[in-house]
Amino acid sequence: MEKMKKNKGIFITIEGGEGSGKTTQSRLLKEYLEKLGRKVLLTREPGGTLFAESIRKILLSPDSRLVPLSELFLYEAARSQHMEEFIIPALKAGKVVICDRFTDATVAYQGYGRKLDIKLINRLNKEATFGISPNLTIYLDIDSKKGLNKAKFLDKESYGSDGDRIERESVLFHNNVRKGYLNQAKKCHKRIKVIKTQSTPLKTHMLIRKYLDAVL
């Protein structure tokens, strides 16, 4: 896939297993970049646009009985809408786009987790993104069981729920997802930087900052 060089903006994605704290890190990164005077769009996948947020609800609802291929197509449907409506215009306007999860999540979850054909996933990712790939991807690495327990604890505390449809998958599934991310990071080591989650969000944020200079 082509790096985001045709347009003026900078495209950064934040990936990680469940409970890795990527949403907090995306927010801290946004605040930091804004302090540097950058215009930032913080968004997420699946989601962002109205339509894609509706797809997100279906994808994450424990009541949805989805076969793996339907799941894959829904993530890609949300993505193409998100790209055309949000990400591409923001990049063209010269913004820094921070996206909480993107195409690497599909390779990790639907490829390594659901065992769907990686070639098919790469093909659909390419179509849905119009060939645009991030300038930088941060992968926040955390032990799958530890992360999952943390995510489920927070869900219980905040919403009284037992986790979303994906969080309810087995530790084995989430271990495979983690393997997927780490393999991707090896393959695309220039773009994907692996950061182990630290004892505090601020410590993790400081490690992320080290990789920013190269893309700013």
Binding site for ligand TMP (CB under 6 A): 44-46, 75, 100-101, 105-106, 109-110, 166
Q: Among residues 46 and 134, whose Cβ is nearest to ligand TMP?
A: 46
CB 103, CB 125: distance < 8 Å? yes
> Residue 169 has which token pair?
């998958």
Instruction: Look at the chain and count its residues.
Output: 216
Q: Among residues 9 and 46, whose Cβ is nearest to ligand TMP?
A: 46
Q: How far is the CB of 187 from ligand TMP (least distance, A)?
A: 17
Q: How far is the CB of 213 from ligand TMP (least distance, A)?
A: 27
Q: Among residues 38 and 51, whose Cβ is nearest to ligand TMP?
A: 51
Q: How far is the CB of 87 from ligand TMP (least distance, A)?
A: 13
Distance between the two ends of the chain, CA-based, in angstroms? 20
Q: How far is the CB of 119 from ligand TMP (least distance, A)?
A: 16
Q: How far is the CB of 33 from ligand TMP (least distance, A)?
A: 20
Q: Among residues 66 and 212, whose Cβ is nearest to ligand TMP?
A: 66
> Residue 86 has which token pair?
């949000």
> Residue 30 has which token pair?
């946004």
SS3 state at 98? strand
Closest C-alpha to 25, from 164, 188, 197, 153: 197
SS3 state at 195? strand
SS3 state at 11? strand
Tell me the residue nearest to ligand TMP as measured from the CB. Answer: 109
Q: Among residues 102 and 208, whose Cβ is nearest to ligand TMP?
A: 102
